Structure 1
Amino acid sequence: MLRWARAWRVPRGILVDSSPKRSVVPVTFSSSRSSGQGNADPRPLPLSYNLLDGDATLPAIVFLHGLFGSKTNFKSLAKAMVQRTGRRVLTVDARNHGDSPHSPDASYEAMSLDLQGLLPQLGLVPCVLIGHSMGGKTAMLLALQRPDVVERLVVMDISPTGTTPGLYIGNFIAAMKAVEIPEKVPYSQARKLADKQLSSVVKEVSIRQFLLTNLVEVDGRFSWRVNLDALAQQLDRILTFPQQLESYSRPTLFVLGGNSTYVQPSHYPEIRRLFPQAQIQTVPNAGHWVHNDNPKDFMDAVTSFLA
């Protein structure tokens, strides 16, 4: 189990990293770290995070990654955001992802609750919440549930409706679970073996490389650090959005990829209902991973929104 990093006691200019040392987390292939057994625990989990220091008088920026991602997805962007805005920037591993604990509960309600535990602990309330895909849905739900926690909201290429590409995501999970790697092979060889086995289902090289960021090795044995069992069991919940009646009336920016089909014009009425102050901006030459495909225009959009 991870422990809270006491970020408020660390001198300014220091990067706080709450991640555990890999060498003390024994795993076997396709096993998962669990926060408990049996039914879901309603208590928040102690998430792994990185906190970059900045001006404490300004609301911090908090990045939430998407499905199969981790806080490292925003490593370069977080540093650039500190330099551009002078603000503190937090990147977080969602439950069942990265270095955060595993749980059978992969719901957005649980992920929102985790942040409601973490952000006040770090003194980051209210904050600017930026979420991509799954992280965008978590960010939207947190803003709707606790508007006092979210000063401004940025949602990256997702909407508060159902997500359509569910079938292939389920196939990706099944393909990852089926991967077999012998013990005590070099990590480079293990990646090649996993890549080859995934290639029959995951055709795009870039997506395979992204999924392979979850392959970890401890004591000669390989594991997926993402909790595939929980994600498979609750994929339907991940691909939908919890029904909400209340709206979030503070400034909101939806940043869409110009080449992406995740957010359709038919979703706009629900966006406007739940987020009446929403602006919708399309970033050209970008797919679903807007911040990777066109980081300059994404940064320009966010910093202009913050200004």
Structure 2
Amino acid sequence: MILNYLIIPNNNFFIKKKYTIVILHGLFGNKKSLYVMGKFLNKNLKYRIILIDIRNHGLSPYHKKMNYRYLSKDVLDTLNFLNIKKNIIIIGHSMGGKIAMNISQFMLFDNIKTIIILDIAPVKYQYYNKNILFALEQVYKTKNLIRKDVFNIMKLFIKNKFIINTLLKTFIDGKWEFNFPILKNQYKKILDWNLVPKWEGKIFFLKGEQSNYINKIYYKDIFFQFPNAKIYNIPNSGHLLHIENTKLVFNLILKLCYK
């Protein structure tokens, strides 16, 4: 499946670049969720940036299956379509991080320079946030809403305004810019994980200090699958670490891209 994508800079795609950075958003996001990060990295590194809408998100095609093998293949199909096959840096947040890790088993080792994971571990999660799903469903079922209405509905179920405002970015023209019924149906697949073969390339995990997504009990799973992994703790942040501590996260990612 060829996914919808956004390229930075959009005016000189065919000029040869040293590296290409592929940025993968999290669940209920879209290619613009990490756009500010993409602009920052392009400005400072002069690398080509590809921001991608994962299937069932943004303007990418819808499909009822959402396991990580399919999601990884979609990204690889899109990169092949763009003739991007080597010198790749992959950055993924949450679900996008799981896709990035899963891609490691399908690409030649030397073709990936670096993988950077934002607040997710290579494990199967047993819990999920029922409040977020319930809030999204209430909005999905209600017609003729404006953004203010959506905010008022969601704040009844979600206390974190960072989360609400992030989700609101995907409420476009009176509806969610993702396929809520499919994502709800496939939610357990998104929480799931199958072990990947050991990948000994450069991979960095950025953990939100107040987040449980990279709990210390998951460190053994990280190092078993990615023996050369390094983990960085980001203070004053939770799962949305790139929003809650933007300057530190962006500058650290910039540094890691140079390594």
TM-score by length of 1: 0.76
Q: 1:106 aligns with which of 66, 75, 79?
A: 66
Question: CA–CA distance in 2 between the matches of 1:154 and 1:285?
Answer: 20
Aligned pair in 2 of structure 1 residues 297, 266: CA closer, same or farther (>3 Å)?
same
In the TM superposition, what whole-angstrom CA distance separates every residue of 1:196-244 from its partner, at most 9, and x where no partner exists?
Answer: 2333222333322222222222xxxx32221111111111110121233
Q: 1:263 aligns with which of 214, 220, 239?
A: 214
* 1:306 shift after superposition: 2.4
5+ residue gaps in structure 1? 1-43, 183-188
Aligned residue number for residue 135 of structure 1: 96
Give yes or no for the alignment of 1:207 onto 2:163: yes
Whichever residue aligns with residue 277 of structure 1, its letter is: N
Q: Is the 8 A contact 1:173 1:232 kept in 2?
A: no
Give yes or no for the alignment of 1:78 onto 2:38: yes
Q: Is the 8 A contact 2:17 2:48 kept in 1?
A: no
Aligned residue number for residue 242 of structure 1: 194
Q: Is the 8 A contact 1:157 1:288 kept in 2?
A: yes
Give yes or no for the alignment of 1:171 onto 2:134: yes
In the TM superposition, what whole-angstrom CA distance separates every residue of 1:129-176 from its partner, at most 9, and x where no partner exists?
Answer: 000000000100011232445321111100001235414244344333
* 1:283 shift after superposition: 1.5
Aligned pair in 2 of structure 1 residues 242, 198: CA closer, same or farther (>3 Å)?
same
Whichever residue aligns with residue 203 of structure 1, its letter is: K
Matched residue SS, 1:259: coil
How many residues matched? Answer: 251
Matched residue SS, 2:90: strand
Aligned pair in 2 of structure 1 residues 206, 306: CA closer, same or farther (>3 Å)?
closer
Question: CA–CA distance in 2 between the matches of 1:191 and 1:298?
Answer: 29
Aligned residue number for residue 145 of structure 1: 106
* 1:48 shift after superposition: 1.2
Structure index of larger Rg: 1
Matched residue SS, 2:103: helix
Give yes or no for the alignment of 1:196 onto 2:157: no
Q: 1:224 aligns with which of 163, 176, 179?
A: 176
Question: CA–CA distance in 1 between the matches of 2:16 and 2:209?
Answer: 35
Aligned pair in 2 of structure 1 residues 96, 154: CA closer, same or farther (>3 Å)?
same
TM-score by length of 2: 0.89
Whichever residue aligns with residue 184 of structure 2, its letter is: A
Q: Is the 8 A contact 1:161 1:240 kept in 2?
A: yes
Whichever residue aligns with residue 231 of structure 1, its letter is: L
Aligned residue number for residue 13 of structure 1: none
5+ residue gaps in structure 2? none
Question: CA–CA distance in 2 between the matches of 1:296 and 1:206?
Answer: 16
Whichever residue aligns with residue 171 of structure 1, its letter is: F
Q: Is the 8 A contact 1:56 1:87 kept in 2?
A: no
Question: CA–CA distance in 1 between the matches of 2:172 and 2:122?
Answer: 33
Whichever residue aligns with residue 158 of structure 2, its letter is: V
How large is the Cα RMSD of the aligned pairs? 1.9
Percent identity of the aligned residues? 27
Aligned residue number for residue 256 of structure 2: 305
Matched residue SS, 1:166: coil
Aligned residue number for residue 35 of structure 1: none
Aligned residue number for residue 233 of structure 1: 185
Q: Is the 8 A contact 1:181 1:190 kept in 2?
A: no
